[in-house]
Structure 1
């Protein structure tokens, strides 16, 4: 029976299927064969993927260098009997681990959501009897019956068909339901074009059919996607990679300095315990305890900001990943386009008219030579005032030969029925037609529904004033061969110029427009029915209506903004190549460079011919990829990543899920997206709009900017504290600050000062910068020089004030209080420098971040308590200061602020000179 697998089922003629599947096209399988095949092939369900043990997943959250540092800090502070500090640090570790565990568990739900899509009941014929059975009991060779509303339970080759239409958007990305037929197809026919097949988990929207099951479970197209999802590795984000690298480097430096400190103290003959405690003090001082909490809180603030801009973040590091994005691979339908078919051109009496407006909203005008036509609404016929009867009749035919409904609901225009027919209604309403009035004037008395073998629909309308009319719409070929003449602008008859009509059609098709032809036939008033024979000849050609799903205006602006920001935008869609390329050019996707040999657009068939190296080049230079399979979407993402890009991928269907999971950031559609896509994604758009992605990229860049500001701000304190300890050991001096005081500085300032940088506004020109290079460090060379200079100033300031107080005869407690306040107020002054790493504080506005000012006031108040409260004096070994001593502290902080501002000005001057 294994010969049933790996067949090109779309290629075989119907006459061969019974023998190939060892089934019967009337009676189906017998029960004995069913049981044999259930044993051989198993159930029609997706195999659950084996996941990690939840406990192991949770414990792996602690397997990070920065967490090791924090665990060490927690243990050290516990040994020092600082139980509150130890508990706070451990609580930070635990919260981060819980958040990471929850996010990872959510990510694993994608396969579960996919498996649920195959549950349900199905109608089959076995032994000649119709049965309703659970879908998971279906076997290869079963004869399945489908009707409107059914979810297809397995991959089927159709053997009977009555106007079957299937929504395959979740699998193929096709924007309109696929019309099915029984015609055998070439072997190399792509998935989206296999019109004689239906696939598991797709939805029947119209008609009935029956077909043989040719694949079940994991071997269906949806099962292959399940395997792709399960085998796709979840990539580390640029932020997690950089933080991990930074943490490893920091860990090595801290351990090295602590060991060096211990060795120097031991060589100097200092007591072993004192030397050990000094090394511990250095480690505590150098560890940025507040960094993980700050990163988590800053990302959470970014999540909240993005939610306000219609982007829901499912995995927090995705906030920053957006800011690193170098390429956005976007779906077309509904993301870059309106997802609302719109008539854009009408061709009647051999003249071309434009139609303004987008979407289903019936607001717009008919234009001829760019001038709007005035409408005559005084007559019952509502004919265009320029008396172009052919134009009016073409629009009227689209309105009357129509089974859909366009209606307004809470200021939104919605449809019931086919998107194409809704577009025809909208164009007629724009021309001033009234639906109720036309239904009264020409009530419908009979209909020939659309059938795929005829490619047209016809309706008979009875008139009380004259002969009745049959209106027909359909494909150009099916209509023109039945026409004998054409309708003139004055209502008369003119010869049918077929070459002229096809010339117009080619021009429309080159712009990615879908074209429908319209005709009519006068019949006697007593005619009661319309038949195929009655409209086979002698039709009068009325005109053409050409439509497309137009691009969103805001998407055009968003694509331009992304490209100005150095982010490439690619379109990956299930639609046809010509349509996709036309939309891409309207949106403004960039053409390949002049010296490139690659095309603007490639089909899935084209991509299948390329090896991995060729695909990498094509993916880099070309803009449009149409009619692609799930595997090809995944290959495209992998190819771009292999070129060093940070890839954001959008999608809404099941077919998008593997690529969404593979991408550095997967973006699912919230309105039209499947649950599988949402579960595989890092971010969900609540409005399905590309402009939201551009806004999210901007927020992502802002979040990373603020993270860099925080790290640039916090490192000098940690480095300065470490240098103070090392200097004391090296020269055998008294420690200017104790380990407990170091903890006070680090924890209080990180919370009340550093975190306030998360509320900084976006800097000017944020979206005019190129994307950060993926391999670039968090802190570049220029910022590292700034960190070292500020660390040195803090070191000098702390020792200078400590030595001054001792020389003046003050107690060690007073001297240490001066050193602690030097660090704290040095950080406060430096905080204002860090509000922007390139611009002066005065340029971005002193009051533009009220949260930062609030944090400064609160921190200053705490330092007053640290200095003057007897309780704090006892806990931290502090002592009151005089006004002169406070003045010295402020002067030290001011020096830091002035030095950094001068350095910024110097760098700005250098940049100006380079330009």
Structure 2
């Protein structure tokens, strides 16, 4: 009940700066009160609160300095390839080709807009993080409880919290009653944490500070009062905000490789153009004709279609991933997935269901019952040691073990939108489901055993007990709690027939230890049948002092957050693909180890591969990266350590994908080469910081996305290998003409026609190419490997040579046989296009023949070829096109020579492929 106190407090003096409160969890509550110069009952008065607000500022996370919109947009044009495209657009405009110029400028603008949107994602992450602390708080000011906007809280404020509240600041508890807080978004702890005022060691990590309630966490049960020791940027949430803001936005492998490729291409184009111009002048040619030739060479060498091809190929990858429940927020992330060498996965909700599930039931006679199914859906079976299914136990230890778990319980389960959802503690939800699997319905139990009194769970007593009225007026006491505490209250145990026998506490502890060794959380259940109060007419009360030595132990329930059904298969698939999988969690080492072994991440004897946050903190700097690379499980780690783990792996040359769902994951998500957030249970902060969001929160979806990413990179590589020979050959054929003092075989406008039409109608069809067989059987690409390997560069040079030789010979042949320059150039233009067309089918696989992948397995290519051929016929035979592009009609003999040279080039490429495949 919320109330106010009328006594006026003494005026507080000047508070210590929160920065001086280095470890409030390591101080007694009264010491924190003195340090913050406040009152543990009356709080601050209004005047002092105003002074502190002016001194420390509002309780909000600071906004980062941002460039204005114009500067952010202009920054998108700062790239060598964009410079080349802009120059190409200007040149084509000067040449009067305004349509082509408009297309090029359109491509540049589209890429700039995409980059502008991508850059906004980090700012959105910080905005989402700031919104987490914008809530209403209840503070004691001048002895009165009053609601305040959380922005107005100051260090030293006495803040009250209760179930359902979101903590508005970092609070050192001074009072608490049955207080439990969900810290999963901050620490990764899967279960709500019990809180009290106990003094802790100053070295206690954040996840174990039970006397602190941190900003942004959610109170799930009980009440408490705490002194605000940190607000705004000084809170733990504020530290994460700082880490998110400082984490470096890394270039993806694709963008890095394209940047290097663009710089090399820029230098090569300028050098060739300059050589062409100088050679022409040396040969006595005029300045204007040589400038035109240099422009033609530059235009020919520019791959105008590359940015569009990259964007469209990535966009197609985005669509394919969306169908596999992975939503891409940043286009280059599609390709990055394909190059991933390490996946750092959160445990709770990613590798596991994030739903506690009872796995084993143990009764005092030593029988162990296996429980199937997972999560909160009441689907599964309970099987006896002999394998028989338990349908509906009517008596004995098993029945009362299940009944105690379900009736001594405050959780509720409901089916919403096709999913079972839990309200309350996850362990209580697991016990409800276990009872339902044995046919013990919660509503029926409530009707048969209505509750009349209860002793709630607390961290001190470590158990919960309830009093129920049974049929006939008798009473039943049900209890569940920690094994050691239950044994303190029991002196007998129940057998399978309901009989009572003397308790063997050592046997119970041995069974509990065996279950806990498997990473299971073990709770004990007990019962007491009491007819005396009903017969004597005594009040229906439950006295904690009267429980000791009166309870009958009915069994143990062992539970865990189970691994996802597809997680083990996905981990195996990643290992087969040469991708290392590491678990990074804020949960306990024993729990993390059990889950890791369950999904095949660890063997049975691999404790050396498990490191805790404390062990990481003690590693020497020079040993840190190596230890991180060797270990597979990291438990009880802080947000700063997650960020450092990702950075250490990247320092070893790894391409890191990091998954997470909580606020504590956001800095590492942003630092990773690709951040993967959970869409179903993830926080908005994590989603905004990530490059990809999983709509089903399933680790197996990451493996599917990696497969799609590899396919995307394959298709981009195929496009580049397909388009470069044409660009090189167009430039070289101009250079050859200048060297020999001959007429240009192709003109700048014709080069633009070739480049723009073939890129759209032919090259982009490679973006729709299906994934090749065995794509997940390859090792990850070496991040240091260039975009094109030596063999692919050799193939580009081979095709370029064939194009230069074929087009030069055909151009000279037509001139020698009486054709005018327009006809000869038309033949050369069509030869370029036809060689590209034949070569396109070869590029559908960079290692196998086109017959192996199937001639008609990509219907888009057939459509593209049809469109391209229609365009070539129009270019060759329509008078308006003849005037615009200086072409002329050609006869069948010319077409036969074009087809023959194209087929010969295709045959040479096929032989090259076969020879290189045999040498591999």
Counterpart in the other structure of 1:46: 61
Counterpart in the other structure of 1:540: 552
What secondary structure does 1:613 align onto?
A: coil
Counterpart in the other structure of 2:287: 272
The whole-number CA distance in structure 1 between the counterparts of 2:508 and 2:478 is 19
State the 1:129 CA deviation: 1.4
What secondary structure does 2:409 align onto?
A: coil
State the 1:123 CA deviation: 1.0
Equivalent pairs counted in the alignment come to 899
Counterpart in the other structure of 1:149: 164
Q: Does 1:611 align with 2:626?
A: no
State the 1:450 CA deviation: 1.6
What secondary structure does 1:433 align onto?
A: coil
Of 577, 581, 601, 1:569 maps to: 581
Of 286, 291, 294, 2:309 maps to: 294
Query: Mapping of 1:361-376 within 5 angstroms?
Result: 361-369=377-385, 371-375=386-390
The whole-number CA distance in structure 2 between the counterparts of 1:49 and 1:775 is 34
Q: Deviations over 1:506-561 (max 9, x none)?
A: 12111111111000111116162222123232111110000001001111111111
Counterpart in the other structure of 2:3: none
The whole-number CA distance in structure 1 between the counterparts of 2:798 and 2:698 is 46
State the 1:889 CA deviation: 1.0
Q: Does 1:222 align with 2:234?
A: no
State the 1:456 CA deviation: 1.1
What secondary structure does 2:608 align onto?
A: coil
The whole-number CA distance in structure 2 between the counterparts of 1:480 and 1:58 is 68
Of 518, 521, 527, 1:520 maps to: 527
The whole-number CA distance in structure 2 between the counterparts of 1:899 and 1:133 is 79
Q: Does 1:713 align with 2:725?
A: no
What secondary structure does 1:582 align onto?
A: helix
In structure 2, relative to structure 1, the CA distance for the partners of 1:154 and 1:79 (3 Å cut) is: same
Q: Does 1:57 align with 2:57?
A: no
Asked if structure 1 preserves the Cα contact closer than 8 Å seen for 2:384 and 2:390, the reply is: no
Asked if structure 2 preserves the Cα contact closer than 8 Å seen for 1:593 and 1:621, the reply is: no
Asked if structure 1 preserves the Cα contact closer than 8 Å seen for 2:164 and 2:218, the reply is: yes
The whole-number CA distance in structure 1 between the counterparts of 2:876 and 2:228 is 81
The whole-number CA distance in structure 2 between the counterparts of 1:688 and 1:633 is 20
Of 404, 409, 412, 2:411 maps to: 404
State the 1:465 CA deviation: 5.0
Counterpart in the other structure of 1:738: 747
The whole-number CA distance in structure 1 between the counterparts of 2:625 and 2:426 is 37
Counterpart in the other structure of 2:673: 664
State the 1:26 CA deviation: 0.9
Asked if structure 2 preserves the Cα contact closer than 8 Å seen for 1:310 and 1:685, the reply is: yes
Counterpart in the other structure of 2:127: 112
Asked if structure 1 preserves the Cα contact closer than 8 Å seen for 2:597 and 2:604, the reply is: no
What secondary structure does 2:64 align onto?
A: coil
The whole-number CA distance in structure 1 between the counterparts of 2:566 and 2:382 is 23
Counterpart in the other structure of 1:485: 492
Of 73, 77, 84, 1:69 maps to: 84
Of 672, 680, 683, 1:674 maps to: 683
State the 1:107 CA deviation: 2.5
In structure 2, relative to structure 1, the CA distance for the partners of 1:211 and 1:327 (3 Å cut) is: same
Q: Does 1:358 align with 2:358?
A: no
State the 1:467 CA deviation: 4.0
What secondary structure does 1:481 align onto?
A: helix
Moved over 4 A (4+): 1-4, 590-594
Q: Does 1:702 align with 2:702?
A: no
Asked if structure 1 preserves the Cα contact closer than 8 Å seen for 2:175 and 2:226, the reply is: yes
State the 1:860 CA deviation: 0.7
Q: Deviations over 1:200-256 (max 9, x none)?
A: 111112211101111111111011111111112211111110000000000111111
Counterpart in the other structure of 1:510: 517
What secondary structure does 2:352 align onto?
A: coil
Counterpart in the other structure of 2:632: 623
Query: Mapping of 1:91-170 within 5 angstroms?
Result: 91-170=106-185
Of 431, 442, 456, 2:438 maps to: 431
The whole-number CA distance in structure 1 between the counterparts of 2:54 and 2:665 is 32
Q: Deviations over 1:718-761 (max 9, x none)?
A: 01111110110111111111111000000000001000000000
The whole-number CA distance in structure 1 between the counterparts of 2:418 and 2:45 is 56
Counterpart in the other structure of 1:865: 874
Counterpart in the other structure of 2:563: 551
Q: Does 1:322 align with 2:337?
A: yes
Asked if structure 1 preserves the Cα contact closer than 8 Å seen for 2:383 and 2:390, the reply is: no
The whole-number CA distance in structure 2 between the counterparts of 1:415 and 1:220 is 30
State the 1:2 CA deviation: 4.3
Of 892, 896, 900, 1:883 maps to: 892
Counterpart in the other structure of 1:338: 353
Counterpart in the other structure of 2:420: 413
State the 1:131 CA deviation: 1.7
In structure 2, relative to structure 1, the CA distance for the partners of 1:374 and 1:583 (3 Å cut) is: closer
Asked if structure 2 preserves the Cα contact closer than 8 Å seen for 1:592 and 1:623, the reply is: no
Q: Does 1:172 align with 2:187?
A: yes
Asked if structure 1 preserves the Cα contact closer than 8 Å seen for 2:194 and 2:458, the reply is: no
State the 1:18 CA deviation: 2.6
The whole-number CA distance in structure 2 between the counterparts of 1:147 and 1:443 is 27
TM value normalised by structure 2: 0.96
State the 1:6 CA deviation: 3.6
State the 1:591 CA deviation: 5.7
Asked if structure 1 preserves the Cα contact closer than 8 Å seen for 2:383 and 2:389, the reply is: no
What secondary structure does 1:10 align onto?
A: helix
Which deviates more from structure 2 when the two are superposed, residues 250-259 or residues 390-399?
390-399
Counterpart in the other structure of 2:849: 840
Q: Deviations over 1:656-713 (max 9, x none)?
A: 1111111111111111111111111111111111111111111111101000000000
Asked if structure 2 preserves the Cα contact closer than 8 Å seen for 1:591 and 1:623, the reply is: no
Counterpart in the other structure of 1:249: 264
- What is the root-mean-square deviation in Å for CA atoms of aligned residues? 1.6
State the 1:592 CA deviation: 12
Counterpart in the other structure of 1:642: 651
Which deviates more from structure 2 when the two are superposed, residues 780-789 or residues 401-410?
401-410
Q: Deviations over 1:546-582 (max 9, x none)?
A: 0001001111111111111111111111111110011
Of 347, 364, 368, 2:362 maps to: 347
The whole-number CA distance in structure 2 between the counterparts of 1:654 and 1:440 is 42
Asked if structure 1 preserves the Cα contact closer than 8 Å seen for 2:16 and 2:36, the reply is: no
What secondary structure does 1:334 align onto?
A: helix
TM value normalised by structure 1: 0.96
List runs of 5+ in structure 1 lacking aligned partners.
none
Counterpart in the other structure of 1:766: 775
State the 1:484 CA deviation: 0.3
The whole-number CA distance in structure 2 between the counterparts of 1:545 and 1:570 is 30
The whole-number CA distance in structure 1 between the counterparts of 2:667 and 2:446 is 49
The whole-number CA distance in structure 2 between the counterparts of 1:31 and 1:410 is 48
State the 1:376 CA deviation: 5.2
Counterpart in the other structure of 1:828: 837
Which deviates more from structure 2 when the two are superposed, residues 414-423 or residues 205-214?
414-423
What secondary structure does 1:645 align onto?
A: coil
Asked if structure 2 preserves the Cα contact closer than 8 Å seen for 1:365 and 1:372, the reply is: no
Asked if structure 1 preserves the Cα contact closer than 8 Å seen for 2:27 and 2:199, the reply is: yes
The whole-number CA distance in structure 2 between the counterparts of 1:58 and 1:180 is 49
State the 1:614 CA deviation: 2.0
What secondary structure does 2:622 align onto?
A: helix
The whole-number CA distance in structure 2 between the counterparts of 1:581 and 1:524 is 47
State the 1:410 CA deviation: 4.7
Q: Deviations over 1:4-44 (max 9, x none)?
A: 52421111122323322221111112233323322332221
Q: Does 1:850 align with 2:866?
A: no
What secondary structure does 1:512 align onto?
A: coil
The whole-number CA distance in structure 1 between the counterparts of 2:414 and 2:294 is 75
